[in-house]
């Protein structure tokens, strides 16, 4: 560029009058190499589930050139071009399970003393480096996960006590357990929409 104007390679410079601006154009690939940046156009989000590799495009990262998907051969212009790495949101365990189509828990709705409650049981436990993960835990790129399926068993009456505040060890007197108006034991199988009643004589607070 001479005097702020693009000129051909045959242009003859004028002594003392022409102002030269040299602009170097390099490709995206050359720029990354010169600056020792290890970046790919598309970097898949990769995890291992029980030693099997799985790529999740939903959470992958993409190199953008001026807001568009970059090309390694594209030329970068001085002063205006922008390169940025766009990454998808980091998934939680719940996001991951929904993405790969695995049901984490079974649910069943019942009524307890006139109030609706939802019972849940885990169908799978997920481990990372020997530690069990919760649904809210973040999953990292290149995580190695272990999935252990739980035996599918029915809900029974005693499962209710994981979801209500009731301390039977402090109760005195008779404990009356009913399902749909009929007396039951702690090991009675429950069905959806069952109506459960628990009454304790002389219950202490």
Tokens 């979801």 belong to 163
Sequence-ordered strand ranges (E) for the chain: 26-27, 42-49, 52-65, 68-69, 75-76, 83-87, 105-112, 115-122, 124-128, 131-132, 144-149, 175-179, 182-183, 195-200
Are residues 158 and 125 in contact, defined by beta-carbon separation less than 8 angstroms?
no
When pLDDT is cut at 50, 70 and 90, the band that residue 24 belongs to is: low
Model confidence pTM above 0.85: no
Mean pLDDT, all residues of the chain: 82
Identify the pLDDT of residue 22.
Answer: 46
Identify the pLDDT of residue 66.
Answer: 81
Identify the pLDDT of residue 2.
Answer: 43
For range 160-175, the mean pLDDT: 79
Residue 84 has pLDDT above 80, yes or no: no
User: What would the pLDDT profile of 88-114 be if each residue is shown by its tens digit?
Assistant: 788 999 999 999 999 999 999 999 989
Residue 132 has pLDDT above 80, yes or no: yes
Q: ∠ CA 47-53-59 to the nearest 5 degrees? A: 40
Q: Which of 22-26, 144-148, 200-204 has the highest mean pLDDT?
A: 144-148
């Amino acid at each position: 560029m001479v005097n702020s104007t693009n000129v051909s390679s045959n242009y003859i410079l004028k002594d003392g009058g022409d102002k030269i601006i040299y602009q170097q154009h390099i490709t995206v690939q050359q720029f990354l190499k010169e600056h020792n940046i290890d970046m790919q156009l598309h970097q898949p989000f990769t995890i291992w589930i029980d030693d099997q590799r799985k790529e999740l495009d939903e959470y992958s990262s993409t190199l953008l050139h001026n807001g568009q998907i970059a090309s390694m051969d594209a030329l970068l212009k001085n002063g205006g071009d922008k390169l940025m790495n766009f990454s998808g949101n980091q998934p939680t365990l719940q996001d991951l399970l929904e993405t790969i189509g695995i049901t984490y828990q079974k649910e069943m709705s019942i009524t307890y003393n006139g109030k609706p409650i939802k019972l849940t049981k885990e169908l799978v436990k997920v481990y990372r480096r020997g530690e069990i993960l919760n649904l809210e835990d973040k999953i990292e790129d290149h995580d190695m996960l272990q999935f252990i399926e739980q035996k599918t068993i029915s809900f029974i009456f005693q499962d209710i006590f994981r979801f209500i505040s009731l301390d039977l060890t402090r109760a005195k007197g008779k404990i009356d357990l009913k399902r749909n108006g009929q007396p039951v034991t702690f090991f009675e199988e429950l069905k959806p929409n069952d109506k459960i009643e628990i009454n304790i004589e002389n219950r202490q607070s």
